[in-house]
Structure 1
Amino acid sequence: MIPEVPETETAVRHRVAVLVRDGVLPMELGLVHQLFGAARDGAGERLYEVRTCAVTGPGTIRTDADFPVGAPHGPEALTWADTVIVVASHEEDESLGPAGLPAPLAAALAPLPRGADGTRIASICTGAFVLAAAGLLDGRRATTHWMSADLFARTFPAVRVDADVLYVDEGEVLTSAGEAAGIDLCLHLIRSDHGAAVAAEAARRTVVPPHREGGQAQYIQRPLAEPRLTSTGAARAWALTRLADPLTLSDLAAVESMSVRTFSRRFREETGLTPMQWLTQRRVDRARELLESTDHTVDRIATESGFGTGASLRQHFALGLGVSPGAYRSTFRG
């Protein structure tokens, strides 16, 4: 049993409960602890407390490997938490259906507060089957591992399944694709809670990419007999050093010595976005960093991030984040 942390030490921390079941994937459980554990404030203090729990109470849980894991907490941790993360169980998930959840699991999830001020709940990989069987995804957009997406869509027709993305944020309910996409989901949650700088530092601590957009394709099926297929990675790297410049689609295609049409097609295959969508998102990222780390005016930040004018920056913030640059700065700088 892991000893309880005194309440005085955790009062300001966001509380995360990870729900594990027999057949859990150890990587998914580990990445949640690693990433939230790496999120620190300016003084180096942890911003999250993470507890592992099982609906059957404290005990040992089988994994899909040749070793078990311990769950130090029971279902009471779910109501304690601000965020609940359901990780996958290959033993159970794909057998779940619209008839609902097994009674112990349903009873554990039932008390969670719902709505905008309730518990935030997220899934990794096929953990989405649990959320769907609990009715939490009806009428919502969601994703899961691409290999399970067709079954998921057939089993839960009330869910709008998007099998081509890394994660989906529907406010208080979030879903992510296969195991590694759980990294992207956790970083997205940290970024939403504490800003881009904290999420980037957590990524650096764990040596993972700091930001992959949720809309990036989770799986690209491509024939092996295309040895001359050229990546668009060089163009992306080139653009990241020139975000303030008025880049065009032709400029990006020229870096890879491709026609605009070929470049656009390959870019979308590799990222799930059009070149201009990707460029806009990177410019928003740059603007967020500057709002968090500098006292520059909005107009200056707009120039340095490539939006040109403060009005353009405000428009893209409203569309992409739902807040103004000033409100974003107030939230993440105080």
Structure 2
Amino acid sequence: MFNEPDYYDYEREPSEIENVFSSMVDAEVTKRTSKFFEKMKQLEDQHLKDVQKVLEIKNERDELKKTHKQSEAFSVFKSQVNDKNIYTIVSLLGFESIDIDFGGMDSEKIPVWFKLIAKYYPDRNKVFSLLDLFEIQYPSWARTFKLPFDYGEVELDIIFNSLSRMGMTNGQYFSGNMGFYYRYVNMYHGDLKTLFEKQSGVCIPWNLFLKNPKLVEEKYFTNILKAIKDNCSNASNFFRIQEYLGLSQEQVLDMVKLIPLNNIWEDHKRFIDNNKDIIQLEPTFVERFKDKINDNSYSPFYYMNFPFEIQREYIVNKSGSYESRFEKVQKLKVTKKEKLKLLQDIASEML
């Protein structure tokens, strides 16, 4: 039997109006859904901002509490700091310092702020900050104060124009002089020009002055040589310069030639002792001082400081036992052959 077709076995295609209506519905749903998600996103972002703000406020509150506690603790600490203990406190902070001696006459009159600025001169700005923090008073001129090794051309020209005034009241040119130095610096509020104009002796420590690196520059080293040649008062102190600054071999020889033949002072002796090797090579020095040669190892004219020919002449011609001369020959820094020859000469001279 022939079967009739089933009209419900396939899906019916939607009509055009149905498609348009469906698109409108989808668009509206999408639009409303987007607005919803957008609103949700805005709320989530705002929530995160609010949470972040709350955390920031909490952190600020905690920091304020911490700062307040620190402030209270510092106030207690600050109330205990004064000019009697600030020096000890600063000494524990590891600031860069210089070797300086605050002993000697009038040292008890040096205020603590001056000791701190001088001792920690390389870090003096940090020291000033601490003095301000703990309300420890110091004069306004302290901010521009310079130690002698930091003097520039203006200050050095003042000194070399009045070198005779570079005296020291207690005669301690190289130590134990900070008490007098402070007295005069403070008297004229750090004004070096006025100090030199008003005082016959300015009490500037030579142990600090001779550290000034400009002194070995041509201009000022020439001034040093001239002052020594002219026998200017205090000029012999310049023979101590090598204890604070390095000199070239040429500069050493220039100074060697200016050592006086007579009236040799301690400054000259120290200079000679610091330059034994160079002095052995300087004929002018050898010829001028060979008659001062001796067997005193503490003397600048110790025979071991002279060239071999002068040593030989000294040992051969010196009176004394063969044994004492033998001991002198043993010390010589020459070959064994030269020593034997010298001993033969001594034996011949004694026969």
Q: TM-score, normalised by structure 2?
A: 0.22
Q: TM-score, normalised by structure 1?
A: 0.23
Point out the structure with the larger strand share.
1
- Structure scoring higher RCO (CA < 8 A, sep ≥ 6) equals 1
